[in-house]
């Protein structure tokens, strides 16, 4: 049962949704159809009832005249044939239906086309004729006479099915002198009239339905047009960049669409109130962030002097003529090391505060190949137990776009102009930007790989020449980054956990600074990582990809953020 319900739910979910416009037009069409069918059914029933009632009245009058007394002589007879006719013959002649040659206007009513008459006196059948629609007079057979005489003799009209002739309305009446008469009229005329009426109503109903759907669709579209305008205003708001920076002003729903006397106006007014609340909250958040950034910038700037003083006094004590004791020397070492670490943290905070403030960077041509060579050599000097490699376009005769491991390992003797010289394609790896900031990006990425991977890990730096940008990859085969840490990797003060062993000293600002600098240059920085559990066959590892647009050098010097 649960599986069937789940399958039905999936089928319903896959159905195409019906818009409000279509629903309203569909409801209007259903209402028009129901009303039209109801009116047509009622009017058809009334029309048929009236037609049948009129036919019954004529039949009752005709049957009464047949029973109460003799009528006029039948057509085709005259006095020249003698006066020997009996009263029975006169009564029989009176009941004859008219024929095309009959010109007697006083013939009993009800004996028109499609009628049948059966008359008997004292059990003797005197007349049993039928007049067709073409006014052809025929004699009824025994089965037809029996069907007509089976009608109840109560003087009221009844439905009867006459063999080979169809449906009739018949009146059976008996007189005091033994007369027995059945007068019947075919219902074909009534049915034909009703069918014509139904066809006319159906044609009018279809035309009315089409007109109602067309006019209804136009009215619904016109009535819901303000709702489209409200939706468009909401779409414009959704396309704004509200995640960071000052809020210049969120557009509102136009005033004509905020009249709360109508439903659309209620929606528009509610949306405006919500946007007002959002804008106020965003401005308050931005003001708070600005205060925090100013505080961090001021505090960082103020802390630079006392930290420099602490380091200076520690150095003076170390250089004093009197040699400090072992404990004092170790304390001085710790004071100097912590002062250096705090100075680095203060510089990082100050740099982030200035980047957040939007202070522009220097713009000049920067050779990324030279920066990569310097960064890799510095990383090798800082952590020789890691396996460092650098791949530049042209190292293996290619442009570096294949992403392979082609490149040169860095050893202790490759320190100088005779070592890594940037490769044959280094001239193409030039972007416009701030050299010191881009150097810090590479340094932070390599420091991140050195800090969070064990000794012996291979760290490869690859540069690729793209048509409109230069890509820098820093890839390692370390343990990888935990999945729950990846979304917050470029946030400030984000530190690795056990999946990325922290050998020490990480402040959680290195990747945030790299991201801010790359963003300030109009570039992007992405990360791909997998742990050994996620990729047991291919192995773990992490790859940072920096994409920097080439840009163009701007005229005039611009202040540096440092």
Same domain, 401 and 415: yes
Query: In the prediction, which pLDDT does 284 show?
Result: 78
Condensed to tens digits (0 to 9), the pLDDT of residues 252-281 reads 777 777 777 877 778 788 878 887 787 787
Condensed to tens digits (0 to 9), the pLDDT of residues 419-458 reads 455 444 445 688 888 888 888 889 889 988 888 888 888 9
Same domain, 353 and 429: no
Q: Which H or E run includes 431?
A: strand 430-433
Same domain, 446 and 511: yes
Task: Give the separation between CA 172 and CA 151, rounded to whole angstroms.
Answer: 6
Same domain, 220 and 287: no
Task: Give the separation between CA 79 and CA 209, rounded to whole angstroms.
Answer: 66
Among 86, 64, 68, which residue's Cα sits nearest to residue 77?
86
In a domain, 559, yes or no: no
pLDDT, mean of residues 220-227: 78
Same domain, 58 and 186: yes
Same domain, 366 and 276: no
In a domain, 84, yes or no: no
Same domain, 290 and 439: no
Q: Which residue has the higher pLDDT, 289 or 31?
A: 31
pLDDT interval class at 6 (50, 70, 90): low
pLDDT, mean of residues 389-395: 80
Q: Which residue has the higher pLDDT, 405 or 206?
A: 206
Condensed to tens digits (0 to 9), the pLDDT of residues 483-511 reads 878 777 777 777 664 434 444 556 677 78
* Average pLDDT score over the chain: 74
pLDDT interval class at 231 (50, 70, 90): confident
Give yes or no for a contact between 257 and 289, defined as CB atoms under 8 angstroms apart. Answer: no
Query: Across-strand partners of 384?
Result: none
Q: What percent of the chain has pLDDT over 90?
A: 6
Condensed to tens digits (0 to 9), the pLDDT of residues 141-151 reads 888 888 888 88
Q: Which tokens belong to 504?
A: 């020490």
Task: Give the separation between CA 394 and CA 407, rounded to whole angstroms.
Answer: 9
Q: Is the pLDDT of residue 332 over 50?
A: yes
Same domain, 349 and 418: no
In a domain, 75, yes or no: no
* Helix, strand or coil, per DSSP, at residue 149: helix
How many residues make up the chain in this entry?
562
In a domain, 529, yes or no: yes
Same domain, 387 and 329: no
Query: In the prediction, which pLDDT does 353 show?
Result: 72
Task: Give the separation between CA 173 and CA 148, rounded to whole angstroms.
Answer: 11
Q: Is the pLDDT of residue 326 over 60?
A: yes
Residue where a domain terminates, one of 216, 241, 266: 241
In a domain, 561, yes or no: no
Same domain, 459 and 529: yes
Query: In the prediction, which pLDDT does 418 show?
Result: 41
Residue where a domain terminates, one of 241, 272, 307: 241
Give the chain's domain count: 3
Give yes or no for a contact between 549 and 521, defined as CB atoms under 8 angstroms apart. Answer: yes
Residue where a domain terminates, one of 241, 273, 306: 241
- C-alpha distances (whole Å) from 76 to each of 66, 91, 94, 102, 125 are 20, 15, 12, 8, 21
* Helix, strand or coil, per DSSP, at residue 535: coil
Give yes or no for a contact between 59 and 169, defined as CB atoms under 8 angstroms apart. Answer: yes
Same domain, 259 and 383: no
Q: Is the pLDDT of residue 462 over 90?
A: yes
Position of tokens 């059976």? 172
Condensed to tens digits (0 to 9), the pLDDT of residues 50-107 reads 988 888 888 888 888 887 755 444 444 444 333 344 443 343 343 344 443 343 333 3
pLDDT, mean of residues 354-371: 79
**320: CATH:** 1.10.287.130
pLDDT, mean of residues 229-252: 72
Domain span at 207: 1-69+89-98+106-241
pLDDT, mean of residues 531-553: 75
- C-alpha distances (whole Å) from 258 to each of 220, 268, 487 are 19, 5, 40
pLDDT, mean of residues 7-36: 74
Q: Is the pLDDT of residue 351 over 70?
A: yes
pLDDT interval class at 229 (50, 70, 90): confident
* Helix, strand or coil, per DSSP, at residue 388: strand
Give yes or no for a contact between 529 and 542, defined as CB atoms under 8 angstroms apart. Answer: yes
pLDDT interval class at 42 (50, 70, 90): very high
In a domain, 557, yes or no: no
Q: Give the side-chain half-sphere CA count within 13 A for 103.
A: 1
Among 445, 458, 462, 471, which residue's Cα sits nearest to residue 391?
462
pLDDT, mean of residues 528-543: 74
Same domain, 220 and 296: no
pLDDT, mean of residues 246-251: 68
**534: CATH:** 3.30.565.10
Cα dihedral 517/518/520/523 (nearest 10): 180
In a domain, 79, yes or no: no
Q: Which residue has the higher pLDDT, 350 or 117?
A: 117
Backbone angles phi, psi at 535, to 5 degrees: -130, 75
Q: Is the pLDDT of residue 304 over 60?
A: yes
Among 183, 92, 179, 181, which residue's Cα sits nearest to residue 131?
183
In a domain, 555, yes or no: no
């Amino acid at each position: 049962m649960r599986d069937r319900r789940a399958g039905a739910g999936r089928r319903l979910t896959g159905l195409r949704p019906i818009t409000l416009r279509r629903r309203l037009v569909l409801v209007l069409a259903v209402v028009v159809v129901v009303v039209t069918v109801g009116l047509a059914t009622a009017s058809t029933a009334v029309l048929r009832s009236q037609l049948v009632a009129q036919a019954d009245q004529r039949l009752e009058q005709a049957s009464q005249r047949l029973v109460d007394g003799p009528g006029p002589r039948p057509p085709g007879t005259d006095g020249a044939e003698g006066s020997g006719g009996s009263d029975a013959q006169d009564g029989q002649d009176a009941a004859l239906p008219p024929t095309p040659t009959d010109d007697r206007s006083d013939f009993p009513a009800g004996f028109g086309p499609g009628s049948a008459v059966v008359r008997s006196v004292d059990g003797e059948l005197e007349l049993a004729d039928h007049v067709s629609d073409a006014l052809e007079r025929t004699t009824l057979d025994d089965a037809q006479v029996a069907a007509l005489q089976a009608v109840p003799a109560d003087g009221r009209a009844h439905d009867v099915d006459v063999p080979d002739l169809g449906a009739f309305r018949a009146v059976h009446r008996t007189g005091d002198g033994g007369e027995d008469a059945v007068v019947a009229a075919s219902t074909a005329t009534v049915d034909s009239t009703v069918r014509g009426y139904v066809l006319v109503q159906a044609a009018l109903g279809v035309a009315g339905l089409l007109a109602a759907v067309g006019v209804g669709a136009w009215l619904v579209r016109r009535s819901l047009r303000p709702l489209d305008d409200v939706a468009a205003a909401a779409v414009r708001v959704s396309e704004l960049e509200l995640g960071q920076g000052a809020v210049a002003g969120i557009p509102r729903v136009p005033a004509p669409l905020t009249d709360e006397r109508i439903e659309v106006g209620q929606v528009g007014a509610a949306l405006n109130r919500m946007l007002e609340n959002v804008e106020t909250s965003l401005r308050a958040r931005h003001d708070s962030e600005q205060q925090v950034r100013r505080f961090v910038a001021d505090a960082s700037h103020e802390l630079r002097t006392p930290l420099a003083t602490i380091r200076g006094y520690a150095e003076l004590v170390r250089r004093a003529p009197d040699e400090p004791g072992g404990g004092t020397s170790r304390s001085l070492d710790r004071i100097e090391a912590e002062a250096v670490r705090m100075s680095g943290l203060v510089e990082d905070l100050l740099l982030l505060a200035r980047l957040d403030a939007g202070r522009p960077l220097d713009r000049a041509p920067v050779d990324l190949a030279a920066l990569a060579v310097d960064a890799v050599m510095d990383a090798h000097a800082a952590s020789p137990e890691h396996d460092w490699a650098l791949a530049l376009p042209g190292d293996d005769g290619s442009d570096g776009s294949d992403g392979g491991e082609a490149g040169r390992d860095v050893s202790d003797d490759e320190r100088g102009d005779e070592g890594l010289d940037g490769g044959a394609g280094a001239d193409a790896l030039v972007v416009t930007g701030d050299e010191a900031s881009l150097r810090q990006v590479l340094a932070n990425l390599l420091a991140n790989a050195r800090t969070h991977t064990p000794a012996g890990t291979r760290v490869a730096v690859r540069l690729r020449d793209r048509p409109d940008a230069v890509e820098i990859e820093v890839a390692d085969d370390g343990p990888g980054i935990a999945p729950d840490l990846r979304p917050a990797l470029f946030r400030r003060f984000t530190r690795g956990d056990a999946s990325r062993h922290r050998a020490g000293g990480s402040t959680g600002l290195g990747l945030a600074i790299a991201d801010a600098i790359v963003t300030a240059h109009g570039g992007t920085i992405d990360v791909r990582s997998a742990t050994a559990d996620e990729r047991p066959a291919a192995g773990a590892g992490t790859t940072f990809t920096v994409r920097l647009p080439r840009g163009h050098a701007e005229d005039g010097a611009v202040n540096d953020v440092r």
